[in-house]
Structure 1
Amino acid sequence: MATETERKFLVTSDAWREGPPGMRICQGYLSLDPGRTVRVRIAGEKAFLTIKGATSGVSRQEFEYAIPLDDARALLDLCVPSPVDKIRHERQHGAHLWEVDEFLGANAGLVVAEIELEDADEEFDHPEWLGGEVSDDPRYYNASLARQPWSEWGA
């Protein structure tokens, strides 16, 4: 059984942009149940099916499997309500790799950085571009952004 321990932060400047270009990701959700999400993702020319359990603190069970690209394209058509489109940039800072997601479409303007940790209490260096933590705010979960995009929050 795999466990994901992840913390999520807003990004406050463009300083993270220095570095290699990112990868376009399109992902949709076949299940948005709070106890389990089922996601299909196309990242570049690779595709994955991911099942995530309920979040407990900053951890949850995660199972990810490579699937054929054509299957992923067909599964995206079954997703509810709409896919999340973003560019993922990987940035090394200290001993950790950060994933900076620059959202597109209905979530354009939102930039979030994630870090995966060995355990919830692990210490890590904070890059200068890192803002407030949103790990405990379910609105920033990608599954939530599919249901209620960032552009609609003020409405």
Structure 2
Amino acid sequence: MGVEIERKFLIDETKLPALRNGYIIKQGYIQTVDHTTVRIRIRDKEAFLTIKGKSQGATRLEFEYPIPLSDAQEMLTNLCHASLVEKTRYLVEYEGHTWEVDIFEGSNQGLTLAEIELESEAEDFSLPEWVSEEVTEDVRYFNANLVEEPYTSW
């Protein structure tokens, strides 16, 4: 069983170090009837199908599978509702952890978030100086919700 423990933060871009080697992500969501999330993601030239369970704090079930790129493109076009989430992701190492910094584009232009994946909810970690506010439990920042209520509409 896959488990994701992830915390999410807003960042102060003026304090962010130089970002290098980003990769482009386009993702969409297939509508479900409960709190399950089904995501189709293209990362550069790779594609993935991800199924996530309901969040409980910073923890939820997560299962991810590689799929053919052509299938992902077809699913994004024909099965995903609303708009796509488009962003460039950068990996930033800080005191033994890898932070994922996402700079959003399109209908979420202006939003920049940082995420950190942990081994347990109780795991200690240091916050970089560029982290400003935790938004882990603010559902507006869930990527699946950003397709329905984009950041530029807030």
Q: For this structure pair, what is the TM-score category when the shorter chain's length is used for normalisation?
A: over 0.9
Distance 1:50 1:88 in 2: 17
| Regions of 4+ moved over 6 Å | none
Q: Calculate the TM-score normalised by the size of structure 1.
A: 0.95
Q: CA deviation at 1:15?
A: 3.5
Q: Any conservation in 2 of the 1:26–1:86 contact (CA below 8 Å)? A: yes
Describe how 1:34-73 pairs up with structure 2 within 5 A: 34-73=34-73
Matched position secondary structure for 1:151: helix
Give the aligned residue type for 2:125: F
Aligned residue number for residue 152 of structure 2: 151
Q: Any conservation in 2 of the 1:46–1:66 contact (CA below 8 Å)? A: yes
Give the aligned residue type for 1:43: R
Distance 1:94 1:2 in 2: 25
Give the aligned residue type for 2:90: H
Distance 1:9 1:62 in 2: 20
Aligned residue number for residue 21 of structure 2: 21
Distance 2:31 2:61 in 1: 15
Distance 1:34 1:132 in 2: 29
Q: Calculate the TM-score normalised by the size of structure 2.
A: 0.96
Give the aligned residue type for 1:54: K
Aligned residues: 153
> Structure 1 unaligned runs (5+)?
none
Aligned residue number for residue 141 of structure 1: 142
Distance 1:27 1:135 in 2: 20
Q: Percent identity?
A: 48
Aligned residue number for residue 3 of structure 1: 3
> Structure 2 unaligned runs (5+)?
none
RMSD: 1.1
Distance 2:14 2:84 in 1: 25
Matched position secondary structure for 1:76: helix
Distance 1:33 1:44 in 2: 30
Aligned residue number for residue 91 of structure 1: 92
Give the aligned residue type for 1:146: V
